[in-house]
Structure 1
Amino acid sequence: MTTNASPSASSASPPFSGSCLTLTTPADILAAVPYLVGFHPSDSLVIIGLDRGQAKMVVRWGLPLPPDALAPLPPLLDREGVTQVVIIGYGAGDVVTPVVDEARLLAAKAEVHVGEALRAHEGRYWSYVCDLPACCPAEGTPYDPSTSQIAAEATVRGLVALPDREALERTVAPVTGPVRMAMRRATADAIAELRSRLAAAGADLDAFARHYVAEGLARVRSALTTHAEGGRLRDEEAARLGLDLAITRVRDEAWTLMRDSHASLWKDLTRRLEPRFIPPAASLLAMAAWRAGNSVQATIALERALTIDPAYSMANLLMHAVQNLLSPAIMRDRMPTPAELDAAMGRAHAGWLLPLVNLLDEEDPTVPLE
């Protein structure tokens, strides 16, 4: 389980899951961390939980920590069956040392052995559990993670450690240039078409809502099939689906059908949709990423959603889960089926369209075209 967030943390599976990490030296530990969290951390606290030499979980927090940020750690260690932890703080000593001390104390209270505790800063590391000058000099020990066998193994496995968290954020950044211009045109056309259909429906909006929601459910399923087969939605398809997902029942269809492989669709839409239509797609991306073990991407996607709409309920629900180090299994095992959603929500009616209609009149902040 790999966790990441700033300033809190989230849950997933480590990329080395199923194999033993031979972390024989502090340099090996420091070489492994970037591949475990997905980027080279700075100003961070990272905790690796192991059992019989196998990585069971990895947690990262951005520093400095808010009060009680480490409170969910002991239950997590217990749930994941962790018997030993390695603690690494990245940054200056006055920031890192207090949080490493707190993490060591919490591990001890949970009866989990601290195998190593390190501080890394500007190409050197220091150990908090070794005070022998011969191996842990006061001035620190130089290290180069790129020369470790761990880094070589990760590269062979196809794992990537991006330079920093900002590089990960750019992987879900809005598209620009001609692609953005094309999506703006497609979105404007989709909005104009919907407005025309609403006007033609007249007073019979309940019947129109039932028809429109049925179309949206079909478009969700078609989009999932397209991506599962290696395809990509055309601009007009993506724009229509962006409108559809503003309707809770349509969005929940995608949530109910969630598979780890669906992340590519929601990532594509998070990048391509106009900002006001992003929160549902970004939240679905977060759910898919969290389930698949990519909690870094999950957290970044939720930040995208909540920056646009701080009150978006699905994003807030998922953010609470990842910040409290909850397992994605708690949602995976409790998701209703589409039939159960229909039974619970009843027939579609005009009120279901209100969130979408409200978005039609909003203006998006300018997204660069180049």
Structure 2
Amino acid sequence: MTPCLTLLSPSDILAAVPYLVGFHPSESLIVIGMSADQAQIAARWSLPLPADALAPLTPVLEREKITELILVGYGTGQLVTPAIDEARRLAAAEGVKIGEALRAEDGRYWSYTCDLPHCCPPTGTPYDPTTSPVAAEATVHGMVALPDRQTLERTIAPFTGPVRMSMRAATATAVADLRARLAGAKDTEAFARQFVAEGLVRVRAAIASHAAGRRLEDAEAAKLGLDLTIIRIRDEAWTLMEDAHAPLWKDLTRRLEPRFVPAPASLLAMSSWRSGDSVLAVIALERALTIDPAYSMANLLMHALQQLLPPSLLRGRLPTPAELNTAMGTPKAAWLLPLTTLLDDPADAVTP
């Protein structure tokens, strides 16, 4: 559920939208679902809309008991009007009324529900979202509106410069240590059991360190990056997931070498989704899937977000660590395969 904002006019709606989606949108369709005068959902689609893009909205309307939709399109009339028309057809088919439908472009808005020249002139009505009381109200609620989606993307972009070189060196050391341990292992099954046990300890230690306000050292982060490639170790973090873990996974998403990013980026997506930040969740999943398009956890979460499923579906349904142990059984050497396939990388030979 979105925080309660007072929306009394088109200007209020346009001031609220950037806070509801996390940034000032462009070439977008925003659908705000209302129930009992409270916004229950706020979803965004890029324009132009792909075929059947709004289909996932239908079950949401029933599930969230939506009685009214507010539609806002950003861009030219040629781009926005077809999307507004499609959303209105969907609402009509579901018996949901349209409270307001707006198009915004270059600091002016037009209403699709009003054609009275004295209040909705053909030239549009000027508005300034930064001066509306809604902006102050949203800020009080702790909501943030970044300038655009690219700015939000940069908040989880890879670190560069000295931080990147330091992490590259730490990763090379962690990889070399693991190679040496693997070469000296006489029993690979026993080694796998030991490695998984150590990784589970490191996951819990990282979460505890984060809770205590301590950032992981580069060497710790690099080792954890290797650990998280193992599904059982990654799932330990998943089953222990809390909304407050997002900064830990965000830090690792930015610091780790790219080939080790899909796991922490997916965990960041999960924690962001749980806390209501579905836009950041999608951006994190895009990072993961750009690196590994077949990464199953990222694909699963992306499907859930695209279908507008609520994170509550997973709350209380995740297995406990003990249940994971029962379901997955004793660690096996084959579990290490996702990690061993990532050990070779020319970048590991580069030192500061």
**TM-score, normalisation: structure 1:** 0.92
Q: Which runs of 5+ in 2 are unaligned?
A: none
User: Which of 339, 343, 347 is matched with 2:326 structurally?
Assistant: 343
Between the aligned residues of both structures, percent identity stands at 67
Q: 1:229 matched to which residue of 2? A: 212
After superposition, the C-alpha distances for 1:224-265 in whole angstroms (9 at most, x for unaligned) are: 111112111110000000000000100011111111111111
In the alignment, structure 1 residue 297 sits paired with structure 2 residue 291? no
Q: 2:195 matched to which residue of 1? A: 212
Residue identity in the other structure for 1:179: V
Pairwise CA RMSD of aligned residues?
A: 1.5
In the alignment, structure 1 residue 252 sits paired with structure 2 residue 238? no
Distance 1:95 1:50 in 2: 25
Q: 1:331 matched to which residue of 2? A: 314
Q: 1:342 to 1:30 in 2, by over 3 A?
A: same
Distance 2:142 2:312 in 1: 26
In the alignment, structure 1 residue 124 sits paired with structure 2 residue 144? no
Post-superposition shift, 1:364? 5.7
Q: 1:149 matched to which residue of 2? A: 133
Distance 1:153 1:108 in 2: 32
**TM-score, normalisation: structure 2:** 0.97
Q: 2:20 matched to which residue of 1? A: 36
Asked if structure 2 preserves the Cα contact closer than 8 Å seen for 1:302 and 1:319, the reply is yes
> SS at 1:359's partner residue?
coil
Distance 1:235 1:294 in 2: 28
Q: Which runs of 5+ in 1 are unaligned?
A: 1-12
Asked if structure 2 preserves the Cα contact closer than 8 Å seen for 1:276 and 1:364, the reply is no
Q: 1:201 matched to which residue of 2? A: 185
> SS at 1:130's partner residue?
coil
Q: 1:362 to 1:339 in 2, by over 3 A?
A: same
Asked if structure 2 preserves the Cα contact closer than 8 Å seen for 1:245 and 1:280, the reply is yes
Post-superposition shift, 1:363? 4.5
User: Which of 186, 204, 217 is matched with 2:170 structurally?
Assistant: 186
Distance 1:148 1:329 in 2: 33
Residue identity in the other structure for 1:78: E
User: Which of 205, 218, 226 is matched with 1:243 structurally?
Assistant: 226
Q: 2:73 matched to which residue of 1? A: 89
> SS at 1:146's partner residue?
coil
Asked if structure 2 preserves the Cα contact closer than 8 Å seen for 1:274 and 1:364, the reply is no
Asked if structure 2 preserves the Cα contact closer than 8 Å seen for 1:48 and 1:55, the reply is yes
User: Which of 308, 322, 333 is matched with 2:305 structurally?
Assistant: 322
Q: 1:10 matched to which residue of 2? A: none
After superposition, the C-alpha distances for 1:182-210 in whole angstroms (9 at most, x for unaligned) are: 101110000011001111103x0000000
In the alignment, structure 1 residue 48 sits paired with structure 2 residue 32? yes
User: Which of 49, 57, 69 is matched with 1:73 structurally?
Assistant: 57
Residue identity in the other structure for 2:146: L
After superposition, the C-alpha distances for 1:73-122 in whole angstroms (9 at most, x for unaligned) are: 12111111211110000001011001101101111211111100000011
Asked if structure 1 preserves the Cα contact closer than 8 Å seen for 2:168 and 2:347, the reply is no
